[in-house]
Amino acid sequence: MPDLMSAETPTCVPEIEFWFDFGSNYSYLSVMRIEALAQARSVRVRWRPFLLGPVFRDLGFDNSPFVLQQEKGAYVWKDMERQCRKYGIALTRPSTFPRAALLAMRVALLGAEEQWMPAYCRRIMQLNFADDRDIGSMDVVSEALEALHLPGQQIIADAQSDANKLRLREQTAAAAAKGIFGAPTFFVGDEMFWGNDRLDDALDFCDSIATRG
């Protein structure tokens, strides 16, 4: 007789929470890579857009540490050139950094569970870090949505609702409460991994949980 209990029990798919900000240069590297890497390992990505600026301010920074510390900033952009060559990702250093992206982030929060989310995030990041476009403007966000054949006007209207604005503030507060201090940050369960160079480690941890399960 077939094992009906086993047949009806859903397979547990490991998940990785991906906390990011469109203004974050290292988040750019992860946004461009995470979906393909996670799919190859049968890991589900939970997209968690949040605003890095308020987190920095709570930590006593009025700007990105890559701007406040000149030597670190010079190193970071050389590192970005190397990493983009490594991954085959285009890079044009933005003329404004970090670039405000409030509307783009609100749209990302609205679409976090939608099928178009990964493609939208990649498009916004490309516009910022490859095309040097103002991703904080309505025209550029509309262009990104329309390029994906999405109803841009309606999505932007919903993203600009008071309820969605509040959700983004709450999500940013939740990031701080989880101990997030930079982006990208990944969570597998309660285990935190910070930085694009820890994405593979986070996915390895997903594998270890699946194996134990």
Render pLDDT for 100-126 as a digit per residue (tens, 0 to 9).
999 999 999 999 999 999 999 999 999
The predicted model gives 21-40 an average pLDDT of 98
In tens, the pLDDT along 151-164 reads 999 999 999 999 99
Lowest mean pLDDT among 14-18, 194-198, 205-209: 205-209
pTM: 0.91
- With cut-offs at 50, 70 and 90, classify the pLDDT of residue 13: confident
The predicted model gives 188-203 an average pLDDT of 97
Question: Which amino acid makes up residue 84?
Answer: C
Domains recognised in the chain with CATH numbers = 14-212 (3.40.30.10)
Instruction: Check whether 3 has a pLDDT greater than 80.
Output: no
Q: For every residue of the chain, which 3-state class applies, written as one string?
A: CCCHHHHHCCCCCCEEEEEECCCCHHHHHHHHHHHHHHHHCCCEEEEEECCHHHHHHHCCCCCCHHHHCHHHHHHHHHHHHHHHHHHCCCCCCCCCCCCCCHHHHHHHHHCCCCCCHHHHHHHHHHHHHCCCCCCCCHHHHHHHHHHCCCCHHHHHHHHCCHHHHHHHHHHHHHHHHCCCCCCCEEEECCEEEECHHHHHHHHHHHHHHHHHC
- With cut-offs at 50, 70 and 90, classify the pLDDT of residue 1: very low
